[in-house]
Chain A
């Protein structure tokens, strides 16, 4: 059972109380963008066997979206953080790199 701490309520929410929202930190490309950018925004996703940054919604709780850093292979959770950000906080990146030296994910490493 995957348990994530909601950064807004502080509750330990198990996955049945949450809704997965796909990849985090996507940049939207709208109508005036190039075909390549639009395709990237719409279709191209990371699919790591390892630490992934994801969006989750505390759907049965406070209803807020948040981000989580989680290993897709071991389910180890490296931390959750509020959605009002463009990048994962430093302390989470450091925690990931401590355990997974050389980790990188899109533009973050």
Chain B
């Protein structure tokens, strides 16, 4: 047996779900003020897991900020959005985050997710919501591997399948 990559559970991160109209100037300004990044294109993440914004669906973004700053960020968005129709939820404690690091981190995920994870198909900064074995998850590729986000209620399951998948030998298919 070999280790394809290292799987570790990351400490809780500040995460805010923001739903609204992406074309609204107020929403664009609020996202920029909260994360320092513009609204990303579909399937992309801007920034990183500590200060960033990811595209979740045509009307949903995941904002990531330091854990301690969540409440103040939600308040700031409320004042930035004014009377516009939008929704924010602090989901920091509803989520678990895993980091998969190592040159073959994509093989770990490729065993569990129905996603083409070749580096030419899924580049750094690409973000995908999908299925991780039997549970919903989202992940993105960064310089050293992947960060995976799933519901905290299934964190033990997700950690188990990720650890088990990382033990396998390299297939070299990717």
Cβ–Cβ < 8 Å partners of B114 in chain A: 13-14, 16-17
Verify A60–B130 contact, CB threshold 8 A: yes
Closest to B113 in A: A17
- Name the interface size band of chain A: 10 to 19
Contact of A64 among B43, B57, B128 (CB under 8 A): B57
Residues of chain B at the chain A interface (Cβ within 8 Å): 42-43, 56-58, 60, 114-116, 128-131, 136
Residues of chain A at the chain B interface (Cβ within 8 Å): 8-14, 16-17, 60-64
Q: Which secondary structure characterizes the binding site on chain B?
A: strand
Verify A62–B58 contact, CB threshold 8 A: yes
Closest to A10 in B: B42
Cβ–Cβ < 8 Å partners of A61 in chain B: 57, 128-130
Q: Which secondary structure characterizes the binding site on chain A?
A: loop
Verify A8–B57 contact, CB threshold 8 A: yes
Cβ–Cβ < 8 Å partners of B56 in chain A: 62
Closest to A64 in B: B57
How distant is the Cα of A10 from the Cα of B129 in the complex, in angstroms? 12
Verify B129–A62 contact, CB threshold 8 A: yes
Verify B57–A62 contact, CB threshold 8 A: yes
Cβ–Cβ < 8 Å partners of B43 in chain A: 9-11
Verify B131–A9 contact, CB threshold 8 A: no
Closest to A82 in B: B58
Cβ–Cβ < 8 Å partners of B130 in chain A: 13, 17, 60-61
